[in-house]
Amino acid sequence: MKEYGIINAYCLDLDGSPAKLTSARNSKCHGLERVEWRPGAWRLFPLPLKAHVKSVVPFIHLRYLVYWWLCYHLQRWRKKGYYRISLALDQGYIVHYAVTRSRDFRFPFMADSDLQMGPVWTDPRYRSSGISTETLQAVSATVSRDWRRLWWLCRDDNAPSNRIPVTAGFSRRGLAMRRPSVFAGLFGIYTLYGQMNYGTVTERPGQRATADQNSMRRARYELAAKYAGKKEVLEIACGSGMGLGFLARTAKRVVGGDIDEDNCRIASAAYRGDPRVDVIQCDGHSIPFSARSFDVVLLFEAIYYLGNVGALISEVRRVLRSGGTLVISSVNCDWQGFNPSPFSTRYYTAAELRQVLVEQGFHVEVLVGFPDGNSSYFGQFVRIARTVAIALDVIPKTMSGKEWLKRLFYGELKEMTPEDIEEPCRPCPLWPLEQVTDPAAHRMLYVIARVAEHDDATRHDSEGDRVLTFARETRI
């Protein structure tokens, strides 16, 4: 598994108004003793609080305390250092702490005049008391005169922590994602994204592609076509619809759905007037069709963008008919040349893909393709250069930005169109995973997941003709 840090970023613009809530050094709140610890030249840890601590709590790791202390004293040279730990004690027991500090280089989207809060911890017995919200409000009031903005960062899947800044009046600024590289693994550098623009990582008409890239596109749609003949097909995350027309040659009906509005507009324009192809804007976590609506569902180069793969697989299981097929393609994250997408949330290995599908009642077959078999001197040089570039995080993040690198290392590029998928290209066989000696030497994974005939036929009867409708899921 390859998984990267994703956190929600909330921000409060401080207006410099007088503090409405005070956070005195030793005040009483909710019957708790509130203490604010400050670092000093020799105060590396909150040792003055040692007498108060009567139990072991999940306190901050030592390496973080050392790092924050060091950053604080380095930043003080520029008169921009701030570092406090707010604690709440109940009869000597630590029941809450919150760290407030000035930004460091790991968060380049913050300004020198910004502060951030985190980590924050509250004893489970006090998590409904509002103590975290009150601490957040108190800190924001205290620092409002000298600092411009206050940030709150928390994991996307932590619902209680996401409610706290909203309650305190913060606004969500987007997702902060840790860059997946060697240096990010050591230091955790984050990039802030607003609304995800998946168009920048989508193959679109007019872009130029290598021969390998075109072969991979042809291979996944040829694989899908084997199951699509005279069937009703749904492609989730279809992007700009580059393969919908190819499938429609033999399928009874093809529906392409994507969450990105621009992708849907491009796909809709390409197939306008074609009665065999429909394009809708939708989220794969909630497929807007009734149960047992399709014979084949496709998910190509998209599973690593999903926030909840289990929910999507469950939805696919719902809309598939008895004997239906789900076809997935994904880059092999065990391949040594693997370079993750900037919007990816988690990459699945072959074993993990098999497990998540089997748990949903599918019968699974895994194939591999496109071996990394270039053993020439230039091929080895390209492989080394790619590995170094990935480690240094210098590869462009967009499809268009990568074109000049592809031209430099892989030769002539060809402009992509929806029709060129039907043109002859270099064939590449696919092998069952069990028949290859080194799966990590192959760049691509392909999964065929089948619903057995009459298997669990009544599983979704309670959902029957449920049709999900929501604002964005309208025809383009």
Residue 252 has pLDDT above 50, yes or no: yes
Predicted pLDDT at 341 = 76
- If phi > 0 it is left, if psi is from -120 to 50 it is alpha, else beta; for residue 236 that is beta
72-103 tens-digit pLDDT: 888 777 667 889 988 888 877 788 888 899 88
142-153 tens-digit pLDDT: 888 888 889 988
Q: Which amino acid is at 386?
A: R
Query: Which carries the bigger pLDDT value, residue 156 or residue 163?
Result: 163
Local confidence band at 18 (pLDDT 50, 70, 90 cut-offs): very low
Average pLDDT, the chain: 78
Domain 199-450, CATH homologous superfamily name and number: Vaccinia Virus protein VP39 (3.40.50.150)
Query: Which carries the bigger pLDDT value, residue 168 or residue 465?
Result: 168
Quote the strand ranges of 317-456, DSSP E.
320-331, 346-347, 363-371, 414-415, 430-432, 442-450
Predicted pLDDT at 197 = 66
Residue 227 has pLDDT above 90, yes or no: yes
Average pLDDT score over residue span 286-309: 91
Percent of the chain with pLDDT over 70: 72
Predicted pLDDT at 297 = 97
CATH number for the domain running over 12-171: 3.40.630.30
Average pLDDT score over residue span 421-433: 75
Sheet of strand 320-331, all strands in order from the earlier edge strand to the far edge: 277-281, 253-258, 232-236, 294-300, 320-331, 442-450, 363-371, 430-432
Query: Where are the domains positioned within the chain?
Result: 12-171, 199-450
Which segment of 92-96, 221-225, 290-294, 405-409 scores lowest on mean pLDDT?
A: 405-409
Rounded to whole angstroms, how far apart are CA atoms 386 and 338? Answer: 9
Quote the strand ranges of 103-166, DSSP E.
114-122, 149-155
Which segment of 25-34, 52-61, 312-321, 368-377 scores lowest on mean pLDDT?
A: 52-61
Residue 240 has pLDDT above 80, yes or no: yes
Which segment of 308-312, 336-340, 416-420 scores lowest on mean pLDDT?
A: 416-420
Residue 181 has pLDDT above 80, yes or no: no
